[in-house]
């Protein structure tokens, strides 16, 4: 049974999504798997849907208007989608379509009961399941009723929830068609859902079975709590059997109704362990066929399982591709480890957003250790390190500021050489040059002396906190002792923007002009105003020093401040409003005075202790050491980003040449190619545009994923939790990284350009990388969801003396913007005050 409007499920496969929609395509594939029972039926094709729309041009016009509505205009989306829905339901089914459907019903049984199920072309996709977004109708009896419910399925393409869901995934309403699946009803004793991977932890080896009595509608609608079985390695390892008071059953005349379950059956298991294991075995076969974990709807009738739907589990974070498991005598760094543990690079670098392929590959090519990509993020396999004992050795390095000065000079010389030597390189020669430059990059990053300096600063910090805690009861004393430490390029960046504000503050026309800036080409216009040349020069000087920075700067495809200078304008204006002239110098001097006063106090108290002179002398040496070396902690990242901007400028110039040659549609397309692929494109003048589009679609889907801090090769996300009994009830717990307590207004900021901060505000965000430093000068405290003791936010918070707690799970969702909170930076928790 194949025609333009109806196709038998047995004749459908995954290649026919455009004709039969995602659900029908998956059902057709399911029916092809040996041992899998799928209720028989047919699909009303997308040709039928387009035919009915052609009968009513006004409906197509309404769909076009809906497509032009701004996604945030919920009222207009709701009104227009309802209008389209009513119009579609009101279109008579054309005779030729109705005849094809009734002929199919005659073949399967005109008076049989059917399930009528939507199957949109944007449904059950790898990146978006669309579960529950369109309609399904159960136990529909008679041709007239089936035709009526097919129309309802067509109309359900335009439910407000479906339209909103498509918008969130970047899918245009006008590009989606609707098919409808019509299947013989199965009247089950038990129904439910099978996840072939744990939907919460992501563990690919643990399958979860949820089951309830009667039709699956009771479970899907939330009418009942299901029994839950966890199956691993062919056996049930956990089960939860609940009281199931109600079920949904089919009515003989059509439709469904709720029924009460006999009290004696309510707490009986819906499945035996053997049945759960048999179902999971079927699920594994389906998972293998589709090549990824599946969310499967099933039912059990007369002892046999019937599969009603299978779609990808779209919320799972991907697992990095495993390296080959070596045999005896292999590289000890790789190790004969069957199970792997991966650590997120993004959590270390304070950038957990996905990266585009060019950014990923350049970071991999310049990294000191192998990095694995998954979900647009990078991970390091730490399995060999976990399997080997680790030791922390003191850094054998004299406390000499000249060491830091020499490292800085070497880095600047290397950067100058890169900028000089890359200028004349184009085409394939550029890529060969960059591969050599990447080796120099790694040499600088891995410079043993650079690593010694970083470790010396960290070791001294740990020593001071440990010993002063033991000797004096001081918590995190190093936070105060390192205020205004010299040579911290990131904290200097924040203070330097205060100096820019000093130049602008005295020029009211410049301030007024900047308040209306939206485009990035404002600097030339700025120079035409009274006081404008000085303001432009101040901003240009800042960009010369820091213009290579931006949010998410480890991804070279991200726009830099030099490329988007308007990004800095809100922070400059905040500084104009919130500070007076000379604020940068005063702030630095205040920090220096506080650190010196703390040093005198600590040394004085130590000398009063038994063996006090020795303790004071040792502490003085460590204070000098930490102040000498701790500022350098931020410099290697600055050097990396400086070099990366040079790489980017050269690569984007090549991309622009490919655009002019007609090889790329736009410069941005180069960002969706890896470095080797872009190299090949420059050599061959050929690019697979389908690959570029696939990468764009994948990148969009990755943005919806939350990367775990730690991931196993089984796919299990390990985030951990804090066990604290010393915090007030209701407090949010995290890591204490910068001492002190502050109370103030929380400003929840997800995008630096949207920040509207006043003096005394507490910044609450997901993560901060160095580009956020200009905001730090005006806040009173910091709370982040991601971070550690030596990550950017913690380092700069200590430098500025801001109480800070990081690693606070769901902080941006648990704290309301404008809510008063109290940050306990010494003890690591946040109180919600109203």
CB contact at 8 A, 672 and 696: yes
DSSP state, residue 14: G
Counting Cβ atoms within 10 Å, is residue 689 exposed (0-12), middle (13-18) or buried (19+)?
exposed
CB contact at 8 A, 21 and 120: yes
The Cα 483–Cα 426 span in angstroms is 46
**Pairing mode, strands 6-8 and 41-44:** antiparallel
Token duo for residue 99: 């005849």
**Pairing mode, strands 710-712 and 178-184:** unpaired
Which H helix or E strand runs over 294? strand 294-301
372: β partners:
379
The Cα 812–Cα 810 span in angstroms is 6
CA-nearest of 575, 701, 641, 829 to 313 is: 701
CA angle 266/272/275 to nearest 5° reads 130
Tell me the C-alpha to C-alpha distance, in Å, between residue 171 and each of 84, 167, 180, 247, 431. 18, 6, 20, 36, 36
CB contact at 8 A, 444 and 644: no
CB contact at 8 A, 777 and 498: yes
The Cα 299–Cα 220 span in angstroms is 13
The Cα 319–Cα 201 span in angstroms is 12
732: β partners:
830
DSSP state, residue 321: P
Listed in order, strand segments (DSSP E) in 676-803 are 710-712, 717-718, 732-733, 735-738, 741-748, 762-765, 781-784
Residues ≥6 apart with Cβ < 8 Å to 498: 575, 579, 583, 584, 587, 777
CA-nearest of 756, 650, 734, 647 to 362 is: 647
The Cα 361–Cα 556 span in angstroms is 10
Q: Which of 149, 306, 679, 792 is catalytic?
A: 792
- Integer-rounded Cα Rg, in Å, for the chain is 31
How many H-runs (helices) and E-runs (strands) does the chain carry? 29, 26
Locate all alpha helices (DSSP H) within 707-823, ordered by sequence: 773-776, 792-800, 811-814
The Cα 440–Cα 414 span in angstroms is 8
118: β partners:
180
Residues ≥6 apart with Cβ < 8 Å to 719: 708, 709, 710, 809
Cα of first residue to Cα of last residue in the chain, in angstroms, is 65
The Cα 245–Cα 224 span in angstroms is 7
CB contact at 8 A, 206 and 197: yes
Go through 483-517 and write b for each residue having 16 or more CB atoms within 10 A of its CB, e for each that does not. Answer: bbbebbbbbbbbbbbbbbbbbbbebeebbebbeeb
State the sign of the Cα–Cα–Cα–Cα dihedral 211, 215, 216, 222: negative
Confirm whether 679 is a catalytic residue: no
| Phi, psi dihedrals of residue 747, rounded to the nearest 5° | -115, 110
The Cα 688–Cα 663 span in angstroms is 9
| Overall residue count recorded for the chain in this entry | 834
Q: How many CB atoms lie within 10 A of CB 3?
A: 14
Supply the residues annotated as catalytic: 792
């Amino acid at each position: 049974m194949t025609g333009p409007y109806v196709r038998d499920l047995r004749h459908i496969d995954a290649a026919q999504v455009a004709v039969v929609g995602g659900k029908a395509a998956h059902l057709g594939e399911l029916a092809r798997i040996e041992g899998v029972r799928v209720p028989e039926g047919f699909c009303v094709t997308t040709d039928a849907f387009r035919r009915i729309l052609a009968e009513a041009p006004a409906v197509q016009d309404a769909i076009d208007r809906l497509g032009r509505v701004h996604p945030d205009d919920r009222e207009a989306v709701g009104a227009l989608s309802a209008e389209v829905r009513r119009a579609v339901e009101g279109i008579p089914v054309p005779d030729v379509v109705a005849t094809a459907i009734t002929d199919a019903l005659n073949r399967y049984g005109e008076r049989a009961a059917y399930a009528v199920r939507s199957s949109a072309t944007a449904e059950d996709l790898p990146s978006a399941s669309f579960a529950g977004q369109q309609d399904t109708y159960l136990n529909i009896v008679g041709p007239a009723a089936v035709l009526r419910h097919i129309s309802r399925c067509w109309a359900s393409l335009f439910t407000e929830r479906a339209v909103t869901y498509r918008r969130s995934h970047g899918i245009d309403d006008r590009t989606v068609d609707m098919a409808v699946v019509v299947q013989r009803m199965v009247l089950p004793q038990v129904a439910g859902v099978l996840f072939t991977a744990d939907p919460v932890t992501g563990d690919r080896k643990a399958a979860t079975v949820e089951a309830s009595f009667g039709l699956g509608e009771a479970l899907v609608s939330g009418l009942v709590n299901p029994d839950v079985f966890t199956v691993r390695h062919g056996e049930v390892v956990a089960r939860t059997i609940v009281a199931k008071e109600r079920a949904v059953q089919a009515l003989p005349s059509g439709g469904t109704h709720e029924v009460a379950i006999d009290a004696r059956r309510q707490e009986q298991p819906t499945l035996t362990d053997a049945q759960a294991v048999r179902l999971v075995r079927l699920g594994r076969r389906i998972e293998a066929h589709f090549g990824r974990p599946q969310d499967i709807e099933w039912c059990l009738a007369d002892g046999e399982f019937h599969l009603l739907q299978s779609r990808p589990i779209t919320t799972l974070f991907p697992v990095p591709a495993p390296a080959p498991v070596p045999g005896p005598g292999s590289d000890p760094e790789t190790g004969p480890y069957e199970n792997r543990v991966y650590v997120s690079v993004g959590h270390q670098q304070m950038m957990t957003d996905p990266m585009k392929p060019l950014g990923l590959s350049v970071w991999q090519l310049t990294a000191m250790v192998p990095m694995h990509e998954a979900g647009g993020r990078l991970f390091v396999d730490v399995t060999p390190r976990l399997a080997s004992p680790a030791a922390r050795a003191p850094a054998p390095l004299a406390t000499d500021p000249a060491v830091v000065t020499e490292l800085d000079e070497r880095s600047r010389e290397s950067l100058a050489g890169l900028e000089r030597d890359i200028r004349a390189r184009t085409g394939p020669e550029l890529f060969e040059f960059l591969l050599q430059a990447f080796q120099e990059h790694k040499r600088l990053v891995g410079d043993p002396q650079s690593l010694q300096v970083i470790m010396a600063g960290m070791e001294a910090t740990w020593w001071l906190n440990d010993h002063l805690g033991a000797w004096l009861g001081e918590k995190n004393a190093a936070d105060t002792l390192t205020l205004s430490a010299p040579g911290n390029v990131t904290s200097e960046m924040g203070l330097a923007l205060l100096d820019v504000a000093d130049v602008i503050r005295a020029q009211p026309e410049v301030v007024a002009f900047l308040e209306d800036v939206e485009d990035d080409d404002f600097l030339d216009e700025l120079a035409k105003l009274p006081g404008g040349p000085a303001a432009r020069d101040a901003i240009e000087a800042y960009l010369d020093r820091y213009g290579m920075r931006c949010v998410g700067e480890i991804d070279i495809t991200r726009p830099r401040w030099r490329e988007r200078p308007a990004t800095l304008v809100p922070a400059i204006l905040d500084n104009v409003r919130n500070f007076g002239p000379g604020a940068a110098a005063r702030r630095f001097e205040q920090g220096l005075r506080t650190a010196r006063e703390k040093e005198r106090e600590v040394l004085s108290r130590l000398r009063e202790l038994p063996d006090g002179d020795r303790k004071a002398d040792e502490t003085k040496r460590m204070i000098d050491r930490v102040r000498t070396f701790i500022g350098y902690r931020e410099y290697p990242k600055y050097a990396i980003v400086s070099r990366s901007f040079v790489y980017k400028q050269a690569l984007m110039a090549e991309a622009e040449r490919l655009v002019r040659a007609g090889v790329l549609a736009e410069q941005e397309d180069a960002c969706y190619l890896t470095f080797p692929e872009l190299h090949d494109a420059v050599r061959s003048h050929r690019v697979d545009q389908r690959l570029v589009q696939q990468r764009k679609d994948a990148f969009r889907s990755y943005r919806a994923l939350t990367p775990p801090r730690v991931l196993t090769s089984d796919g299990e996300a390990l985030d951990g939790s804090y066990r604290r009994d010393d915090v007030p009830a209701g407090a949010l717990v995290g890591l204490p990284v910068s001492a002190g307590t502050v109370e103030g207004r929380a400003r929840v900021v997800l995008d630096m350009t949207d920040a509207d901060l006043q003096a005394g505000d507490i910044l609450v965000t997901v993560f901060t990388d160095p580009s956020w430093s200009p905001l730090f000068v005006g806040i009173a405290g910091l709370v982040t969801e991601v971070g550690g003791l030596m990550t950017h936010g913690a380092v700069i918070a200590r430098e500025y003396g801001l109480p800070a707690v990081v690693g606070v799970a769901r902080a941006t969702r648990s704290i309301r913007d404008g809510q008063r909170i109290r940050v306990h930076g010494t003890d690591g928790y946040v109180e919600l005050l109203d």
